[in-house]
Structure 1
Amino acid sequence: MIKRSVLLGLGIVSLLLGMAGIVLPLLPTVPFVLLAGFCFARSSPALHHWLHQHPWFAQALNDWHQQRGLRLPLKRRALLMTLASFSLSIWLVSWGWLKLLLAIICMILIIFLWRLPVIPATEKATAYRAE
């Protein structure tokens, strides 16, 4: 029961951070939404289903769940927004050690996103079905 509550809380926090990441620099949206989906799958079938049906997140989550990849437009947008938000953050901070840390985190995230498989545009998106 405690594990389920912790996962539910972590899923809600992750989803909120992912939604904040849509507009705030430094917060990556995709990893937080994927973490929320993972947590909801183990704690709340209703929230997991809702997340997989949500118009903002459904296609990316379903693509990730079924094929462990992203469609090219989403991958490009994720790479561009990651680079733009980290660049802005690096430019705004004044401490050298923080600039270096941000640059390292940015590189790790860009490498992660770059290495994700691309799902061909010809493949039709299908709704997620929990088994």
Structure 2
Amino acid sequence: MMRLLLWRLLAIAALILGLIGIVLPGLPTVPFVILAAWAGGRGWPALEAWLLAHPRWGPPIRNWREHGAMPRRAKWLSSLMMAVSAALLLASPAPLPVRVGVPMLMLAVAIWIWRRPEA
């Protein structure tokens, strides 16, 4: 019972973050919706089914599940947001290991993203 509740809470939190991402620039939407469907599949099958059948969010979720695919637009937007974040971080007074390490991590993520198949 507790496990089911935790899966549902994760699904709801991810879905809320995804919805916030629709109106808040810089916060991705689709990864959170994919996470919500994944968590829903473990604790809330009706939510998972609803997300998979949704006309807007269903196709990206199915593309990710079936092929690990991302749309080219999502790749460009995520890369742009990471580049802007890295530039802001480099200009900040954060400690040097953070100013160097975090952009390196973002670069690794960007490389991984661009190696994914396209939807």
TM-score in same-fold range (> 0.5):
yes
**Cα distance between partner residues in 1 of 2:4 and 2:42:** 7
Q: Which residue of the partner structure matches residue 92 of structure 1?
A: 88
**Cα distance between partner residues in 2 of 1:100 and 1:36:** 32
Q: Which residue of the partner structure matches residue 67 of structure 1?
A: 67
Q: Which residue of the partner structure matches residue 106 of structure 2?
A: 106
**Cα distance between partner residues in 2 of 1:85 and 1:43:** 32
Corresponding letter in the other structure for 1:54: H
RMSD over aligned Cα atoms: 2.2
Q: 1:67 to 1:89 in 2, by over 3 A?
A: closer
Runs of at least 5 residues in structure 2 that lack an aligned partner in the other structure: none
1:16 aligned onto 2:16: yes
Corresponding letter in the other structure for 2:65: H
Q: What's the TM-score once normalised by structure 1's chain length?
A: 0.71
Q: Which residue of the partner structure matches residue 5 of structure 2?
A: 5
- Aligned pairs (5 A) from 1:8-87: 8-22=8-22, 23-25=24-26, 27-70=27-70, 74=71, 76-87=72-83
Q: Percent identity?
A: 32
Runs of at least 5 residues in structure 1 that lack an aligned partner in the other structure: 120-131
| Structure of greater relative contact order (alpha carbons < 8 Å, 6+ residues apart) | 1
Deviations 1:58-89 (A, max 9, x none): 1111122233323xxx2x21221112212222
**Cα distance between partner residues in 2 of 1:84 and 1:92:** 12
SS of residue matched to 1:118? coil
